[in-house]
A and B are shown apart, each in its own frame.
Chain A
Amino acid sequence: AQSVTQPDIHITVSEGASLELRCNYSYGATPYLFWYVQSPGQGLQLLLKYFSGDTLVQGIKGFEAEFKRSQSSFNLRKPSVHWSDAAEYFCAVGAPGTGGFKTIFGAGTRLFVKA
Chain B
Amino acid sequence: GAGVSQSPSNKVTEKGKDVELRCDPISGHTALYWYRQSLGQGLEFLIYFQGNSAPDKSGLPSDRFSAERTGGSVSTLTIQRTQQEDSAVYLCASSLARTGTEAFFGQGTRLTVV
Contacts and interface: CB of A to CB of B under 8 A. Distances in A.
A106 B50 CA distance: 21
Contacts of A105: 35, 42-43, 45
Interface residues of B, number: 29
B54 A99 contact: yes
B95 A107 contact: no
Contacts, number: 67
B102 A49 contact: yes
A94 B107 CA distance: 22
Contacts of B41: 107-108
Contacts of B48: 102
Interface string B83-114: 00000000101010111111101111000000
A89 B78 CA distance: 28
Given A96-B99, A98-B53, A43 B105 contact: yes
Interface in B16-40: 30-31, 33, 35, 40
B56 interface: yes
B114 to A, nearest CB: 22
B51 A103 contact: no
A102 to B, nearest CB: 6
B30 A100 contact: yes
Interface string A83-112: 000001010101010111111111110100
Interface of B: 30-31, 33, 35, 40-43, 45, 48, 50-51, 53-54, 56, 91, 93, 95, 97-103, 105-108
